[in-house]
Amino acid sequence: MKSFTAMVGLASRKSLDLVENMIHMKNTIFLGFAFFFLFSCSGNKETADKVFVNGFIYTVEDDQPTAEAVAIKDGIILAVGTTEEIEAFVGNETETIDLQGKTMTPGLIESHAHLMGIGYNKLDIDLMYVKTYDELVEKVAEAASKAEPGEWITGRGWHQDKWIEMPNQTVNGFQTHDELSAVTPENPVYLAHASGHASFVNKKAMELAGITPLGSENLKQEVEGGEVIRDEIGNPTGVLVERASGLVSRLIPKDTPERAEKALELALKELAEKGITSFHDAGGNQDLIDLLEKFKAEGKLTARMYVMLSSRIPELIEAWYKKGPKIDPDHMVTVRSIKLNMDGALGPWGAWLLEDYEDKPGSRGHETMPIDLVTQVAEKGLELGFQVNSHAIGDRTNREVLDRYEAAFAKFPEAKDHRFRIEHAQHLHPDDISRFGELGVIAAIQAIHLSSDRPWAIGRLGVKRIKDGAYVWQKLLGSGAVISNGTDAPVEPVDALPSFYASVSRKTLKMTPEGGYEPDQKLTRDQALKSYTLAGAYAEFEEDFKGSIKVGKAADFTVFDQNIMEIPENEILNTKVMMTVVGGKTVFKAE
């Protein structure tokens, strides 16, 4: 009896001889059969539904970092290789997409943003790009001219530190409401800060909320974890910080189901156009989860969703404790994490610091929820299988959260694969940087915040704290930590390319300064791409299913018109997304 090895060798030689003879035949049907037969003998028995050929493909896989073509079947990657190799998977029913030299990467994963906020930003007044207070007032006045008396006017995106000039009258670094109120006498106005950690309201809104001058009989008490900004004689300025915003926001009529669906449709369209195939929603409620499930059932969900439950809704958390995590076998709507909001933002001086703000002596920001909540939720999460993701911007908050994570890990040593996260991890004390890697805590950063905030952040923190512990990405990677990337949209546009540019250049979007801020902390392009793909997948326990272009993984791809891994740095911002593919389906294609 021939040995098994000999038999395999004989079969291989016969297969090759057959192919060589067939190559001389002019009939293309027989040629196709020859290729099929050859690959059948080597273990392949499948024909692709779709192939992408003639591209420059970055796989984010160390053993095969680049390729030219990909074959997929039933939404899963069937083969990765050269165009010639992948053509062997083409059958009569196969769709062939010629990339024509364009660049393909794994589908981009936005690891921290707010889905409905993106959609509502398109329905409400978008203030992200206003340059002055006067421009803000003009936009609101235009909306008021089209509104019915008493109708709420809402918007989001203003940021006083990004204005090219401040109004004449300011209190604590913020504008006052007088000009806003003058153009909206009949309509309550609520304008969320870009960070989501403050709001600006008019006189009508404050009257409805009972926010009155000091000494008034109906004075609203200050809110724990928030502040009503007042002038020197006690009059409210219209700026509400942190939880004080709830005094007004809770009065805004609830959205109709129709408006919520429209907002979700607009958000999903934006994700597809920006190449986002997976999305981590940083603080959802049950209404969002139900709406996502509805869209999934109707075939309208065009990105994979990973929802963090908002700790601002205690009854929501308790309900999910009882039923446990929801891990979707279809990988479309998964709920297995809890979002804790533990301090404010740097812009409104709300980030909780170990030492005073450089430009506001006597102030160190504050926690926005009782810090012991981290202990409670971390322990419950480890017990029940929920990941815990804590918003922490200031160095004090990061330290407090790490302390409580560490204690919880010690209490539940059997929970090895917790993958707890710190969202933002912007400003760290040098002593705490190594703890991310040591504890296995993921740093969910938003590199674009450096571009937007670094020019003024040095005024808040001073040179030493900026140099030692702000946006310290290489130091975090050096600790062994995983870094996932995102935008925190709608704080910033949900566009990965500016964030990718910020990751590798550490410059503003005006391409300054030369060499970038603290250039030793730049990410390499490989690191930046991984932070937007495989690391994002790891941060949601999905690295075996997506995040890289590998046989057996999901066919989630983003295609660019330029090679973002090789073009000059400043050309990255001119790059465009040409195609977005989720589970093998094209959800966006540029004209």
Q: How far apart are CA 355 and CA 364, in angstroms?
A: 6
What is residue 216's predicted lDDT score, i.e. its pLDDT? 54
Q: How far apart are CA 501 and CA 466, in angstroms?
A: 20
Confidence check: pLDDT of 26 > 60: no
Strands 76-81 and 170-171: unpaired
Q: What's the one-letter identity of residue 462?
A: G
Instruction: Spell out the SS3 assignment of 361-379.
Output: CCCCCCECCCCHHHHHHHH
* Residue that the structure tokens 């404010």 belong to: 344
Q: What is the pLDDT of residues 438-452, one digit of tens each?
A: 999 999 999 999 999
What is residue 18's predicted lDDT score, i.e. its pLDDT? 34
Confidence check: pLDDT of 185 > 70: yes
Confidence check: pLDDT of 353 > 70: yes
Q: What is the pLDDT of residues 207-236, one digit of tens each?
A: 999 998 876 544 445 677 888 999 988 899
What is residue 369's predicted lDDT score, i.e. its pLDDT? 94
Stretch among 151-165, 218-232, 270-284 having the lowest mean pLDDT: 218-232
Confidence of residue 255 (pLDDT cuts 50, 70, 90): confident
Confidence of residue 101 (pLDDT cuts 50, 70, 90): very high
Stretch among 25-39, 44-58, 253-267, 283-297 having the lowest mean pLDDT: 25-39
- Angle, helix 286-297 to helix 257-273, in steps of 10 degrees: 70
Q: Compute the C-alpha angle 337/342/343, nearest 5°.
A: 140
Q: What is the pLDDT of residues 319-333, one digit of tens each?
A: 999 999 999 999 999
The whole-number average pLDDT for the span 311-324 is 97
The whole-number average pLDDT for the span 462-471 is 97
Q: Which residues contact 415 (CB under 8 A, 6 or more apart)?
A: 382, 383, 409
Beta partners for 72? 50, 77
What is the chain's percent helix, strand, coil content, to nearest 5?
35, 20, 40
Confidence of residue 128 (pLDDT cuts 50, 70, 90): confident
Q: Which residues contact 43 (CB under 8 A, 6 or more apart)?
A: none
Q: How far apart are CA 420 and CA 168, in angstroms?
A: 45
Q: Is 0.75 surpassed by the pTM of this model?
A: yes
Q: What's the one-letter identity of residue 556?
A: D
Confidence check: pLDDT of 365 > 70: yes
Which strands make up the sheet holding 557-560, listed edge to edge? 66-67, 56-58, 103-106, 557-560, 577-582, 585-589
Q: How far apart are CA 279 and CA 267, in angstroms?
A: 11
- Angle, helix 430-439 to helix 395-411, in steps of 10 degrees: 30
* Residue that the structure tokens 């429209």 belong to: 262
Nearest C-alpha neighbor of 143 from the set 210, 207, 202: 202
Q: Which residues contact 572 (CB under 8 A, 6 or more apart)?
A: 497, 500, 501, 504, 505, 562, 564
Q: Percentage of the chain surpassing pLDDT 70?
A: 91
What the chain holds in terms of domains, given with CATH numbers, is 125-250 (3.10.310.70)
The whole-number average pLDDT for the span 356-368 is 94
